Amino acid sequence: MKVLTPKGEQLELLTVNMGPSHPATHGTLRVFCALDGETIVASMCEMGYLHRGFEKMVEQGTYTMVLPYTDRLNYCSAMMNNIGFCKAVEKMFAVTVPERCVVLRVILCELSRIIDHLVCVGANLVDLGALTNFWYFFNPREAVYKIWEKLCGARLTNTVTRIGGFYRDTYPGFEDDVRAVLVQIEGAIKDVRGLIEHNKIFLDRTRDVCVVSKEDAISWGWTGPCLRASGVDHDIRKQEPYYGYDTYAWDTVIGTKGDTYDRIMIRIFEMLESISITRQALDRLKPGPINTNDARLTLPDRNRVYHDMEALINSFKLIYEGVRPPPGECYDATEAANGELGFFIVSDGGTNPYRIKARPPCLTQFAAFGPMTEGTMIADAFGTLGSINIIAGELDR
């Protein structure tokens, strides 16, 4: 493509199409860019290759049927999506879940955050040519998946929560397994930090690469680790605390420059904070009910169903019709691994959701990807793509 630069020089640009099935895109994303040598001059992104119509599908079933679909949004930390959706519906009912359920949700959320960051950082380092870290991080990730398997039978798509509580309580020995895996994760983080922190190749390829200023990050609607990397002190767990996150001792990790280095390092240090929160939550985990006793949400006890007419009707109604939130429009958000995961729910008082709009955190980050990589080398652009952690399942819905 022949162009005139803003300075009036004639330039021959090479147009290159990356993706949708390019290994460096970690999914199906398309980046169409114009190159001057190896430098990106202009770049446009196309998404939607994994679009399955999440928002249309969820209108066809009951609220409980939405849960398996939410697993498939950010499939690297499926439980956080389950919990985010349940919390939004629980807000509509104005029910509070029991203490054990809250603490268990905190533990599962933080473990999910850790495995999400493990995948993000591990794969990002592979993009930069550092393969060993990937194995160091995927071993503890596998150990967490073993816990998920014992907990609910599924590894990737867990559907472990229910509106008003959980599918079932934990298994005996859950606490010990979690404590053991936390030690393993700490070891892996130590190993990886040892490999990258003083590594000249890593530092050269990440420092001052694709810097996003505070103002730009806010204007792009960034949330989560990427926003914090740009130096904005904002975490929903701190600023609008839910599930008692304000009662745990932990710190928000904030970057200084907003470059790829910050975005990677923030995730590494956030894992350490999550480990600390998980340990404190394990200390608080006391036996007790895991489901709310609100009859609109929770199935009655089996013994009562067989001997009590009202309980039988209640059970049938909940199975056949599901929960019925009061009519209205409600938005609720949680701090997922990638940023603010929100659900805007419109209820007409019926059994099926009238409209659900998911707010995927990585859409805002991918929208910025084209402009933020303009002016950088093409190889660094893909290092950056890993650092903003695009999960196609949640991006394309």
Partner 1 sequence: MSAPHIDTPTIPSAAPGIPLAKDALLALVRERIEVEPDPSDRWDLTVVVASGRLRDLMRFLRDDPRLRMDVLLDIAGVDYLAFPGHRDARFAVVYLLKSLAFNHRIKVKVRVEEEALEIPSIHDCWKIADWMERECWDQLGIVFKGHPNLKRLLNHHQFVGHPLRKDYPCQKRQKLTVNDPMVDQLQLRLRQLGYTVLSEGEIHAPAVRGGTPGEVVGTGDKGMQDPDLTTGTQVGDMKRSVL
CB of 20 to partner 1, least distance (A): 5
Residue 313 in tokens: 């009707």
Among the listed residues 234, 237, 263, 267, the single contact to partner 1 using CB under 8 A: 234
Site residues for partner 1, 295-334, by CB under 8 A, read 326-331, 333
**Smaller CB distance to partner 1: residue 85 or 220?**
220
Query: Per rule CB under 8 A, is residue 97 in the interface with partner 1?
Result: no
Query: Per rule CB under 8 A, is residue 228 in the interface with partner 1?
Result: no
Give the Cα-Cα-Cα angle 46, 49, 53 (nearest 5 degrees).
Answer: 115
Query: Per rule CB under 8 A, is residue 20 in the interface with partner 1?
Result: yes
CB of 261 to partner 1, least distance (A): 23
Strands 14-18 and 10-12, sheet pairing? unpaired
**Smaller CB distance to partner 1: residue 270 or 340?**
340
Query: Per rule CB under 8 A, is residue 14 in the interface with partner 1?
Result: yes
Mention every residue, 6+ apart, whose C-beta is less than 8 A from residue 219: none
Give CA 245 to chain center in angstroms. Answer: 17
Query: Per rule CB under 8 A, is residue 15 in the interface with partner 1?
Result: yes
Measured CA to CA in angstroms, residue 216 lies from 34, 258, 365, 371, 383 at distances of: 23, 10, 11, 11, 20
Query: Per rule CB under 8 A, is residue 216 in the interface with partner 1?
Result: yes
**Smaller CB distance to partner 1: residue 50 or 102?**
50
CB of 184 to partner 1, least distance (A): 36
Among the listed residues 34, 76, 275, 281, the single contact to partner 1 using CB under 8 A: 34
Among the listed residues 33, 160, 185, 391, the single contact to partner 1 using CB under 8 A: 33
**Smaller CB distance to partner 1: residue 37 or 173?**
37
**Smaller CB distance to partner 1: residue 118 or 392?**
392
CB of 267 to partner 1, least distance (A): 20
Among the listed residues 223, 274, 278, 338, the single contact to partner 1 using CB under 8 A: 223
**Smaller CB distance to partner 1: residue 155 or 355?**
355
Query: Per rule CB under 8 A, is residue 22 in the interface with partner 1?
Result: yes
Query: Per rule CB under 8 A, is residue 19 in the interface with partner 1?
Result: yes
Which region, left, alpha or beta, applies to residue 375 given φ > 0 means left and ψ of -120 to 50 means alpha?
left
Query: Per rule CB under 8 A, is residue 86 in the interface with partner 1?
Result: no
Residue with tokens 């990730």: 141
Q: HSE on the CB side for 213, CA within 13 Å?
A: 3
Among the listed residues 141, 237, 324, 397, the single contact to partner 1 using CB under 8 A: 397
Per-residue contact string for residues 334-373; x = within reach of partner 1 by CB under 8 A: ------x-x-x-x-xxx---xx-x-x---xx--xx-xx--
The piece of 40-48, 110-118, 199-207, 296-304 that touches partner 1 (CB under 8 A) is 40-48
CB of 390 to partner 1, least distance (A): 13
Site residues for partner 1, 41-80, by CB under 8 A, read 41-44, 46-53, 55-57, 59-60
Query: Per rule CB under 8 A, is residue 221 in the interface with partner 1?
Result: yes
Number of residues that bind partner 1 (CB under 8 A): 79
> How many C-beta atoms surround the C-beta of residue 247 within 10 A?
9
